[in-house]
Structures are given as C-alpha cells and as structure tokens.
Amino acid sequence: MKRSTQIVIAVLALVVIGAAIVASRSPMPTNLLPSFSQPSPLTASSTSSDLPVLADAMPPFGGITKWYNTANDQPLTPESLKGKVVLVDFWTYSCINCIRTYPFLKSMHDKYADKGLVIVGVHTPEFAFEADPNNVGREIEKNGLKYPVALDATYQTWNAYNNQYWPAEYFFDRQGRLRHVHFGEGEYDQSEEAIRALLAENGEMLEPMGTAVPTQDFSDIQTNETYFGLNRGNAFMGGPQDANKDTDFTLASTVAPNQWSLGGTWRFTPEHIESRAADATFRFNIQANETHLVMDATDGKDKHVDVYVDGKKVGSIIVNASTLYTVAKTKDGKRHVIELRIHEAGVRLYAATFS
C-alpha cells in the first residue's frame, strides 16, 4: 500500500473513532450473532465434547487498516485460517486489563503455535491515538507480541462480533466454528483447557498442561477505572466544565475518596484534560497497589512530571508518547493521595486504571 493511502486511512480512522467508541457501548444489534454475547460453560477438566458450537462461522476481519506480524503484512481471512484453532483476542494497548493478559497470550503462542494454534489480536482503539498505526506498532514491538495483530480502527470487526469488552477472547475450532468465549481477565487455566480441547479434536498429541498463568488478586483495589474527558468523565471535584476552554482551578486541600481535583490552568475536551500552563497539579484519592494513567504530550516532546504520594515526592516521570504510564506503586492496598506536579503545558490525561 502506498504511503499516501495509509495516511488517508489513518486520518479517516481518527475522525470516526469517537463515534465508534460511543456506538460500541450502546445495546447490541439484534441481527448480529447474538450467541457471541454469552460465554460457554467450561471447567478445568473439560474435554472437546463439553464445548458447544456457539456459531457456525467466524465473522470476517472487516475494516482492518493495518496488519502486523503476518507474512508481508498481508491480511488473514476466516478462509485462510481454516484447519487452525484460532483465538481472536480483542484488546487495546492503553488498557491495563489487556496488558495484564500479555503473559497468557504470549505463553499460549509459544506453547501451541506449532501445534496448530493461531492467535489473532484485534486491536480496537478506545482512544483516538490508539487508531494510529505507528503507535500500535510501537506497543506491539515494545511488549514482544509475536502473533498476528489487526488494527480495527473503525470498529467494523468489533461490531461484527457484537463485542462489548476489552479484553475479550473468542475460540474457534479448525472448521471455523465458535466454541468458547471468555470476557475480561483471569481463568487462564480454563482458557488453556479450551485451546487444548480444540487442538485435541484433530488428534494433536499434547504434553501435560503444567502450571497455568496466575490470575492477579484484585481484592485491594477499591478505586474504579476513571475517565477525565467530558464524554465519560467522572469523580471530578470541580463541577461541570466547558469544553475546549482554558479554566483556572484551585486544588482541593482535601480530596474525597475516589475523587480527583485540579490546580492551575486546564482545558477539558470530550476525550481528555490538558494542562495549559506550567505548574499545573492533578490530585487523586485512590485505594490500590499501583496507579496507572493514560497520558501523552500535545507535541510528543518530553514533559517533566513530579509524583507525590501523601505529600511526599516519590519520583519523576517523562511524559511524551501516547500510552499507559505507571505513576505510583503503593503496594499496601491502602488509601493514598496521588499527586502530579506538571512542569510544562501540554500534558494530556485520559484515564486512570489500577492494579
């Protein structure tokens, strides 16, 4: 594909992504494979006979703007995957829940790719910057993902599956039939058993499964994922805000549990908040072991941010690329006040997630 064509596709994807995100959270269309919305039952001792046929055919990979980790970056199709066991994994790179599935997916690729398993990561962006093929390619390389990935920038494949979740996994047998579904993190032993059961249907001889990838304990997390932009923003202590207007804020001296406050000059947009002058401050009262923020710099250049926990400086980070940054590791599962002191204008904050 010519570079000029790639640029046009990327620009169109950025234009439509906001509308696609909203649509993906609406009720599912009734004319599209309703069985895809229901996980199939499976236990750790399941065999192939326990895996019902949930749909007779794999939906096409529609609207894909770029393929990664395929031969000459050529597209995969349901027809070309016939004869393989296929795990279709919906993800997006700034999602901490998706990031935590990397060890499982990489392990499955390493253990079973030569046995007939193909993992296809369908990267459907949550934020506009995740539709940029360069950003996605950077994250694939940084995280060592070796299996094929399709950039579903305009949600065509997401909608074909009636999907509603990041991450979401769909397991297809060698005939292209849907046999198992799993939404969210965890239960990796059951997902591996599903893969093994489908591989065994073709008489594939497998070594014992061994130790499953562990699932993280989330009992310490008492602060929910939080968005900062006007479209989905919540928990802000400053009241309603005007879009795309610079506003001066006074930082709250006491921030209520699971809420956040701003100091200095900020601008609210539908998708993010942006520091508009030097020495802006962001303060969040959280309860978790680790705090992660989706951030970037407006010009992609280094922005210097000091991090404080309960009023004490614990370090500094550089914000530039559009990605997920780990800003604090408190580890004790107790309540803490996380504060960012931002030295330059042009830092954008999209969302906070916790682990």
Say whether both 185 and 270 belong to one domain: no
Residue pLDDT, tens place only, 205-232: 788 777 778 777 778 899 999 999 999 9
CATH number for position 249: 2.60.120.260
DSSP type of residue 82: T
Which is nearest to 120 in space by CA: 155, 80, 154, 162?
80
235-256 tens-digit pLDDT: 999 877 889 999 999 999 999 9
Q: Are residues 29 and 164 in the same domain?
A: yes
The pLDDT value given to residue 218? 77
* Residues 321 and 289: beta-carbon distance below 8 Å: no
148 and 14 in a common domain: yes
Per the domain annotation, does 221 fall within a domain?
no
Same domain, 81 and 155: yes
State the alpha helices, DSSP H only, in the chain: 3-24, 96-99, 102-112, 133-142, 156-160, 188-200
Q: Does residue 246 share a domain with residue 102?
A: no
Q: Is residue 219 part of a domain?
A: no
DSSP string, 218-265: -TT--S--EE-STTT---BTT----BT-EEEE---SSPPTT-EEEEEE
**In-domain check, residue 119:** yes
Please check whether residue 246 lies inside any domain of the structure. yes
- The SS3 assignment for 73 reads helix
Q: Are residues 49 and 131 in the same domain?
A: yes
Q: What is the pLDDT of residue 38?
A: 43
Tell me the residue type at 47.
Answer: T
DSSP label at residue 74: P
27 shares its domain with 147: yes
The answer to whether residues 132 and 194 belong to one domain is yes
Residue type, 64: I
State phi, psi for 13 to the nearest 5 degrees: -60, -40
Please state, as a whole number, how many other Cβ atoms lie within 10 Å of the Cβ of residue 117. 21
Please report whether residue 313 resides in a domain. Answer: yes
In a domain, 188, yes or no: yes
Residues 189 and 230 in one domain: no
Domain boundary among 162, 184, 200: 200
Number of domains in the chain: 2
Q: Which of 157, 184, 200 is the last residue of a domain?
A: 200
Which residues does residue 329 pair with via DSSP β-bridges, in sequence order? Answer: 290
- State the DSSP string of 104-133: HHHHHHHHHGGGTEEEEEEE--SSGGGG-H
Report yes or no on 102 lying in a domain. Answer: yes
Check: CB of residue 41 under 8 Å from CB of residue 180.
no
**pLDDT at site 212:** 74
Query: 45 and 175, same structural domain?
Result: yes
The domain that holds 165 is classified in CATH as 3.40.30.10
Q: Residue 312: in which H helix or E strand, if any?
A: strand 312-319
Give the per-residue pLDDT at 211: 77
Range of the domain at 230: 226-354
Q: What is the pLDDT of residue 333?
A: 86
168 shares its domain with 291: no
Instruction: Note the pLDDT tens digit of each residue in 279-336.
Output: 999 999 999 999 999 999 999 999 999 999 999 999 999 999 999 999 999 988 899 9
pLDDT of residue 9 exceeding 60, the answer is: no
Whether residue 302 sits in one domain with residue 167: no
In a domain, 272, yes or no: yes
pTM: 0.85
Q: Which two tokens stand for residue 120?
A: 């296809």
